[in-house]
């Protein structure tokens, strides 16, 4: 009975940092999506008590196992490639498009590396990368008669995974954004209303 009446113990800065480290490891291990990671890190940084931190990391192992992986390839020639929903982004992804398009939606993706590099070779095509708010994005893409658009609204969370884009766009475009389009917002609203 006395334990129930005891005040909650305040969390220290060191405990908050440890929780963020544990969340980062879980994200790299694929246990959290980038969006879940960003939400939980915000909660950890604002946590007042140890109980607040326990809620954020209670469903995660103390020492997740991190495995190395090789770069994968996504190729769109006169067609399109879409990676959406729950999928794994490893340390590297090579995207090749020729008269094609590629959509990489990382909002529900699980990542398996602290830094993931997406290398682009785009000829007469387009690549769109959608990231959750709070993820750090480094765009080092050269263009020749093409466009590069980066539209990010949020600032990176401390210790956030890094998504690095490299490569070349010739007569094409690369777009990086963190906000849903009008069509995505309408679809989400319809799903919420219809309950599906």
185 and 110 in a common domain: yes
What does the pLDDT look like over 119-144, one tens digit per residue? 999 999 999 999 988 788 999 999 99
96 and 131 in a common domain: yes
80 and 164 in a common domain: yes
3-state secondary structure of 127: strand
Answer yes or no: is 196 within a domain.
no
- The pLDDT score that the predictor gives to residue 118 is 95
Answer yes or no: are the C-beta atoms of 154 and 32 closer than 8 Å: no
Number of domains the chain is built from: 2
- The pLDDT score that the predictor gives to residue 7 is 80
Answer yes or no: is 150 within a domain.
yes
- CB count within 10 Å of CB 163 equals 24
Most confident stretch, 57-61, 159-163, 165-169:
165-169
- The pLDDT score that the predictor gives to residue 71 is 65
Answer yes or no: are the C-beta atoms of 56 and 44 closer than 8 Å: yes
Answer yes or no: are the C-beta atoms of 166 and 192 closer than 8 Å: no
What does the pLDDT look like over 82-95, one tens digit per residue? 999 888 888 889 99
The alpha-helical segments, DSSP class H, found in 11-148 are 13-28, 34-45, 50-57
What does the pLDDT look like over 6-35, one tens digit per residue? 788 888 888 888 888 888 778 877 788 888
Question: Phi and psi dihedrals of 129, rounded to 5?
Answer: -120, 125
Query: Which are the contacts of 32, defined by CB distance < 8 A and separation ≥ 6?
Result: 23, 26, 40, 60, 110
Of 1-5, 41-45, 59-63, 106-110, the poorest mean pLDDT is in: 1-5
What Cα–Cα distance (Å) separates residue 158 from each residue in 67, 92, 105?
23, 22, 22
| pLDDT, mean over the chain | 85
161 and 123 in a common domain: yes
Q: Which domain range does residue 105 map to?
A: 72-189
- The pLDDT score that the predictor gives to residue 187 is 84
**54 Rama class: left (phi>0) / alpha (psi -120 to 50) / beta:** alpha
The alpha-helical segments, DSSP class H, found in 92-140 are none
d(C-alpha 148, C-alpha 175), whole Å: 6
């Amino acid at each position: 009975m006395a334990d129930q009446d005891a005040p909650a113990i305040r969390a220290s800065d060191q405990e908050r940092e440890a929780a963020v480290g544990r969340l980062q490891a879980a994200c790299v291990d694929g246990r959290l999506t980038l969006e879940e990671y960003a939400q939980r890190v915000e909660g950890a940084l604002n946590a007042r008590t140890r109980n607040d931190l326990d809620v954020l990391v209670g469903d995660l192992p103390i020492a997740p196992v991190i495995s190395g992986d090789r770069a994968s390839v996504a190729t769109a020639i006169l067609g399109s490639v879409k990676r959406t929903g729950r999928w794994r982004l490893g340390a590297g992804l090579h995207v090749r498009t020729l008269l094609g398009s590629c959509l990489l939606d990382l909002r529900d993706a699980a990542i398996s590396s602290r830094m993931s590099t997406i290398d682009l070779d785009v000829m007469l095509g387009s690549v769109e990368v959608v990231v959750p708010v709070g993820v750090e994005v480094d765009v080092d893409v050269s263009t020749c008669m093409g466009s590069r658009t980066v539209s990010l609204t949020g600032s990176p969370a401390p210790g956030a995974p890094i998504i690095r884009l490299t490569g070349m766009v010739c007569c094409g475009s690369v777009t990086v954004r963190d906000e849903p389009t009008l069509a995505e917002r309408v679809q989400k609203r319809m799903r919420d209303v219809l309950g599906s």
